[in-house]
Structure 1
Amino acid sequence: MSNQIDPTVDPYGYLGIARNPDGSITRIFDFFAKTPACSDNNDSIPVLTKDIPVNKSNNTWVRLFCPRKVLDSTPITKLPLIVYYHGGGFVLGSAAGSICYEFCTNIAVKIPAVIVSPEYRLAPEHRLPAAYNDSMEALQWIKSTSDQWLTKYADFSKCYLMGSSSGGNIAYHIGLRAVGCVDHLNPLKIQGLILHQPFFGGTRRTPSELRLANDKIFPPCVADVLWKLALPKGVDRDHGYCNPTAGIKLELLDKIKGQGWKILVTGCDGDPLIDRQIELMNILKEKGLIVVGEFSNGGFHGYEFHDSSKAKVLFGVLENFLTSL
């Protein structure tokens, strides 16, 4: 948390934004700090990073994370490829965020894996589906890139889409898009989705949202503000972008089942979003998909980013998920 503003009293101020009369916002401060990429081979850092443009007109790019040891290995051993979408409620955050940097660096070391984290346009300047479009464009860039970190060290046949919070929402929706055009993504072969505390919503309050209405990290009133800024104008929180139980496309779920993708959903009961996460997990299971749920007691939304012991547990869950089934 970047300030001491009570989110239940002033959710806009808590997020570091101010409302303007015309409906736009002014970003008062960066809610998340940033860390520059570093590809200096002479440095002692365990993971090298670099940023590569994807669409210059939209100012979108990707940050690559490659474990140093794979660059030095002989013979070359290709690692799983994780496409990681950062969180921030579609309004905040960046692939250059320090939280994202540390999280992806640790995953790259612990799993190990090569990671690509796309930078997507933020709302309300660019409302949904802009973030989905940019994220899908990044997948197309990955499958056709000539960058050696990916072509030499990433196993394109073992690709997973992963995201935290709103990034988990993106991973889910990009999975639905991608499964409808798998042939066009060759040689990229998606094996599953990793939804880490995914951000979903709806007009009806769930029991967990009511129970945690005064949560000091991510109360429902803050989520409401983010959805108001992110969703297309004129729709409510029961739109499919927000509420995955609304208008589920069964044919796409059948295709995911047919592809044999695995899906991991994680959460904790200190997060107001947990009921929605479990609801989606149960729906996917009922449709016959391979779904693993990992839900813990206590915690809060995004707690693995702030507690190294909890992050260690999550990395173990990720490793088991990627090597099982």
Structure 2
Amino acid sequence: MSAETASSAGTVIASKFIHLTLNPDGTVDRSRMVIPVASASAAPDPTSPASPVLSKDVPINPSHNTWARIFLPQRVPSCSEEKLPLVVYYHGGGFILFSAASKEIHEFCVTLARELPAVVVSVEYRLAPEHRLPSAYDDAVEALHWIKTLQDEWLADHTDLSTCYLMGSSSGGNMAFHAGLRASMSHGDLEPLKIRGLILHHAYFGGTQRTPSELRLENDETVPLVVSDAMWELSLPLGATRDHVYSNPMADGGIELFEELEKMRSLGCRVLITGCDGDPLIDREVELAKMLQEKGVSVVTDFAEGGQHGIELREPDWCKLLVQTMKTFMATKTATGHGGVGLPDKISTQIVA
């Protein structure tokens, strides 16, 4: 069946908005504007002393064409022997767009590595619809198993594997959540890697029923509703609805993830959820935070007024605030409930038909 036949009219309309061409064989052609050709040569010279952050690309699974871009901050000599925390980063793009080599994503990871400071591993994973979910989740967890082996000298020499955070933006936030659940269930196999927390930045979740924020921002310039629906249609398993657990882990109170969430709680893994009310996805993020709290998972929330989806990747002032929030979150080593941030009552979580 062709992608055109399998897709709704909305997906065809959305494909023009995000510069995709649907092919008869179910694949898509992506504009070079939204996903560059990625290779090790795309990274800045890792030996350049002028850069405050060094970077290089290393393969993870050549058969899947997955790899990682590692970011290592230059440090003052007095700190040279102190190992740094690790942030494993999953980029956004609705599971179908962008790359760890995309300029915006590269520069965001440079900022994180420099300002936290931390070693950042940005994961290049397989994209849908050629590789529908759970392929991206498989790649996300495979990257963790690769990291723990310390095959790369930067990781071996400079990284504290006992202080690891999984972070993602948009669909990458969804990936960080599901990778975190999987990692909790197999935490013994990941040693010495220890995941201390998840950082879900404007995380991408959905559902068949609309939320007030989705309806209020139906024609949002960054993530209009028709585009969000199309991305789910192209990335979820064939025949799945947006209430599939990959899209809507909050369905039925999260009952499908009961065992995974209980394990995450017992391990003391903390979750930071950030967003803003200018993002159509904000109600989903608030709903997720409430569900996790009900399951006893330690949650910190940071929801701002205004803004738009993924604004921290484009606006330096917003990025500074995000980095400060991350620093505070990462400095807290034990589970402490909300961490003093709390859930704002002013953001509605009502689901409407």
TM-score range, shorter chain: over 0.9
1:11-36 deviations in Å (ceiling 9; x for gaps): 21121102234543222443255782
Unmatched 5+ stretches in structure 1: 1-6
Question: Is 1:242–2:250 an aligned residue pair?
Answer: no
Letter of the 1:44 counterpart:
A
Distance in 2, matches of 1:9 and 1:39, equals: 40
Match for residue 55 of structure 1 among 43, 50, 61: 61
Distance in 1, matches of 2:19 and 2:156, equals: 40
| TM-score, L = length of structure 2 | 0.86
**Residue of structure 2 in register with 1:267 after alignment:** 275
**Residue of structure 1 in register with 2:343 after alignment:** none
Q: Is the 8 Å Cα contact of residues 57 and 69 (structure 2) preserved in structure 1?
A: yes
Distance in 2, matches of 1:301 and 1:268, equals: 8
**Residue of structure 2 in register with 1:104 after alignment:** 109
Cα displacement (A) at 1:217? 1.2
Cα displacement (A) at 1:192? 0.6
Q: Is the 8 Å Cα contact of residues 195 and 263 (structure 1) preserved in structure 2?
A: yes
**Residue of structure 2 in register with 1:89 after alignment:** 94
Letter of the 1:295 counterpart:
F
**Residue of structure 1 in register with 2:17 after alignment:** 14
Question: Is 1:279–2:282 an aligned residue pair?
Answer: no
Distance in 2, matches of 1:259 and 1:212, equals: 37
Distance in 2, matches of 1:8 and 1:252, equals: 33
**Residue of structure 2 in register with 1:4 after alignment:** none
RMSD: 1.8
Q: After TM superposition, where is structure 1 displaced by more than 6 Å over at least 4 residues in a row?
A: none
Report % sequence identity: 51
Q: Give the match's secondary structure for 1:249.
A: helix
Q: Is the 8 Å Cα contact of residues 91 and 100 (structure 2) preserved in structure 1?
A: yes
**Residue of structure 1 in register with 2:337 after alignment:** none
Q: Is the 8 Å Cα contact of residues 52 and 114 (structure 2) preserved in structure 1?
A: yes
Q: Give the match's secondary structure for 1:238.
A: coil
Match for residue 33 of structure 2 among 21, 27, 30: 30
| TM-score, L = length of structure 1 | 0.93
**Residue of structure 2 in register with 1:3 after alignment:** none
Match for residue 164 of structure 2 among 135, 156, 159: 159
**Residue of structure 1 in register with 2:299 after alignment:** 291
1:250-275 deviations in Å (ceiling 9; x for gaps): 12111111111110000000100000
Question: Is 1:179–2:184 an aligned residue pair?
Answer: yes
Cα displacement (A) at 1:214? 1.3
Q: Give the match's secondary structure for 2:71.
A: strand
Q: Is the 8 Å Cα contact of residues 46 and 56 (structure 2) preserved in structure 1?
A: no
Shifted more, 29-38 versus 259-268: the winner is 29-38
Q: Give the match's secondary structure for 2:290.
A: helix
Distance in 1, matches of 2:169 and 2:233, equals: 20
**Residue of structure 2 in register with 1:222 after alignment:** 227
Q: How many residues get paired?
A: 318
**Residue of structure 2 in register with 1:206 after alignment:** 211
Distance in 1, matches of 2:46 and 2:159, equals: 20
Letter of the 1:69 counterpart:
R
1:95-119 deviations in Å (ceiling 9; x for gaps): 1111111111111111100011111
